[in-house]
Amino acid sequence: MLEVEAVAALTILILAFFVGFEVIAKVPPLLHTPLMSGSNAISGISIVGAILAAGGEHGTTAIVLGVVATAFATFNVVGGFLVTDRMLGMFKQKDRS
Amino acid sequence: MAIPNVVIQLAYLAAAVLFILGLRMLSSPKSAPRGNVTAAVGMLIAVVATLVDRDVVDFKWIALGAVIGGAAGAVAALRVAMTAMPQMVALLNGLGGAASALVAGADLISTVVDAGSVPTGIVPTAIVLSVLIGGITLTGSLIAFAKLQEVMTTAPITYPGQQVVNALIGLGMLSLAAMVIMDPSELTAFWALAGVSLLLGILLVIPIGGADMPVVISLLNSYSGLAACATGFVLDNSALVVSGALVGASGIILTKIMCDAMNRSLANVLFGAFGAAPEAAAAGAAQDQGTVKAYTPEDAAVIFSNARSCIVVPGYGMAVAQAQHAVRELADTLEEKGIDVNFAIHPVAGRMPGHMNVLLAEADVPYDKLVEMDDINPQFPETDVALVLGANDVVNPSARNEEGSPIYGMPILDVDRAEHVFVIKRSMNPGFAGIQNPLFFNDNTMMIFGDAKKVVIALGESVRNY
C-alpha cells in the first residue's frame, strides 16, 4: 500500500469512528445486549478477507488459515444476526387492547 | 464475466452504508428488528461482491468453512438460553477477533511463502496489530466464556508479582511485534507473536472477577472491531475499516457506560482484581449492624394488600434462579390487585450490558415497564414496595453515604427510600464486592430468604389468596 492510500484509509477510519460514536450513543440501554450481538455480526465483515484467503491461489498454510477464518467469521455473521433477531422479537410494548 | 473492481468497491460502500443505517435503527425497539435485517442485507451484499472477485478462484474451501461455521452459528443462535446470552456474546467476540487475525496471518504467509515477496508500507504494522488484538480477543473471550459458564472459578485468580509477569510478557510481545514489522519475512517471529498474544489474552482476563464481566465483554467487543479495522488496512478494504470502526466505537461506549455505572476506572477494573479478598473486607464489615428481620411470603402479602405501587429491582440472582417468568407472573398478580408495577434496571445488573432487559423481555414484560436508573430513582420515595430480587451491591446505600466503603460513589438504585423494602436473598452472604449491605438491617426492610424463583412463586400465591 502506498503512503497516500494509507492516509486515505486512515481518513475513512477516523470518520467512521465519529459516525459510530454518534449512532451508537443513541441506542438506549434497553437494547444494549442486542447492540452487542448485532455489532458482533457486523464485525464478522472479516468474512470478506476470509473468502479471499480461502478461495485464492495460495499455498496450503494460507488456505488452511483462510478456511478456519471463514468458519469463524460465518459463525459470527449467521449466529450474530440470528440471535439478535431472536432477542429483538421478544421486546414488546404493553398490550393496550 | 469478470466484474470490474470498481463495482465490487461500490458494493462494499453500499454494505457500509447499510451497517450504519441498521445501527441507527437500533435507537428504538420498534425499528430495531428492521435495523438488524438492514445490516444483514449489507453483509449479504459484501459477501456476494467478494465471491465474484476475480481473485477468488476456488470455492470448495470457502464452502467448507462457511457450511461448518454457518451451521454451528445458526444452531447456537437458535438454541442459546437468554440467561446464557453473555456467554454467547463472549464467544462471538472471540471468534470475530480470531477471524480477523487469521485473515491477516494468511495474507502475510501468502505474500512471503507463496509469492516470495515482502509486504511493505503500512501493511506489516497492520498485520501485527490485527494478530495482536485478535489473539488477545480470542483467548480473553474464551476465559470470559469459561467464567460466565462457571466451568472455571468466577473469583479473580491472582498470584504475587502477577502484574510484573504480565508487564514482562507484554514487553516481549512488543519486541516481537517490532521484529515482525522490521522484517515481515521472518515468519518464526510472527508465529511467536501470535502465541504470546494468545497467552496474554488468558493472563489478562483471569484476574478479573465475575461481576466485572460487563466491562470485560464490552471491551472485548470493541477489540473485535479494532481487529477487523486492522485487517482492513492489511487488505486495503474500506468495508472492513468502516465496520471495524463502528464496532470498535460501540464497544468503547459500552465500556465507558459500564465503568461509570460502577464508579471505577477501566484500569481499576482490569488490574484491580476487585473482590479478590472477600474475607478481609467481610471481616471488617461484620461488626454488629443490628438485627436482620426474616419474614415469610405471607407477611409480605399483608403489606402488598395495602400497597398501590411496587418497583421490582432484578439482579444477577434472578438470572441464576431463572426466575424471570415467575417474576412476570407475580407482576401480573399484583396488577390484578390494582398495584402499579415497574422494573428498575441498573446499568451493571447482570453479567453484560442490557442483560436484565433481555431476560424480562423474554418473560413478556412490556419494555415500557423497564425503567432506567436515572428515571426511576426519583420515584422510590413515593413507592410503597421495592422488591429487590437477587441484586445486592447496586442497592447498597453505603455507596451513597459511607465514604470508606469500597463502592462509595457508585450510582445506586435508591430502594431504601421506598416505604417498604422486600429483599429476596438466598442467605446473608455478602455480595460480590465482599461488603455488607446496611439495607438489610434497615427498619423498613423485610428479608425473605430462599431461592428467588420459589420465593417469588410463593409470594404470588400468598398475594392471590390474601
Q: What is the pLDDT of residue A14?
A: 96
Please list the residues that pair with B309 across neighbouring strands.
B340
CATH architecture, domain defined by B291-465: 3-Layer(aba) Sandwich (3.40)
| HSE-up (13 A, CA, CB side) for residue B449 | 8
B-contacting residues in A 1-60 (Cβ below 8 Å): 1-3, 5-6, 9, 12-13, 16-17, 19-21, 23-59
pLDDT tens string, chain B, 466 residues long: the values are 578 889 999 999 999 999 999 999 999 999 999 999 999 999 999 999 999 998 899 999 999 999 999 999 999 999 999 999 999 999 999 999 999 999 999 999 999 998 999 998 899 999 999 999 999 999 999 999 999 999 998 888 988 988 899 999 999 999 999 999 999 998 999 999 999 999 999 999 999 988 889 999 999 999 999 999 999 999 999 999 999 999 999 999 999 999 999 988 898 888 877 655 444 444 444 445 667 878 899 999 999 989 999 999 999 989 989 999 999 999 999 999 999 999 999 999 988 999 999 999 999 999 999 999 999 999 999 999 999 998 988 999 999 988 888 888 999 999 999 999 999 988 777 666 667 889 999 989 999 999 999 999 999 999 998 8
Asked whether the CA dihedral B432, B438, B444, B450 is positive or negative, the reply is positive
Which chain B residues are closer than 8 Å to A1 by Cβ?
120-123, 233, 236
ipTM: 0.95
**Is B424 in a helix, a strand, or coil?**
strand
- pLDDT class of A3 with cuts at 50, 70, 90: confident
Torsion of CA B105, B109, B115, B116, to 10 degrees: 130
Q: B285 CA to chain A: closest CA distance, Å?
A: 33
The domain spans of chain A are 3-88
Q: What is the pLDDT of residue B187?
A: 94
Query: B411: which chain A residues are within 8 Å (Cβ-Cβ)?
Result: none
Tell the residue number behind the cell numbers 464508579, with chain if given: B263
* Residues of A whose CB is below 8 A from B32: 31, 34, 88, 91
Q: Is residue B393 among the annotated active site residues?
A: yes
Query: At CA B105, angle to CA B19 and CA A41, rounded to 5?
Result: 20
**Each residue of A11-48: pLDDT tens digit?**
999 999 999 999 999 999 999 999 999 999 999 999 99
Q: Is B443 helix (H, G, I), strand (E, B) or coil?
A: coil
Residue B411 phi/psi, 5° resolution?
A: -65, 130
> Which of B77, B232, B367 shows the shortest C-beta gap to A79?
B77
Q: What is the tens place of the pLDDT at every residue in A61-90?
A: 999 999 999 999 999 999 999 999 999 999
User: B425 forms bridges with which residues in the sheet?
Assistant: B449
| pLDDT for the residue B433 | 60
Q: Chain B residue closest to A32 (CA)? A: B354
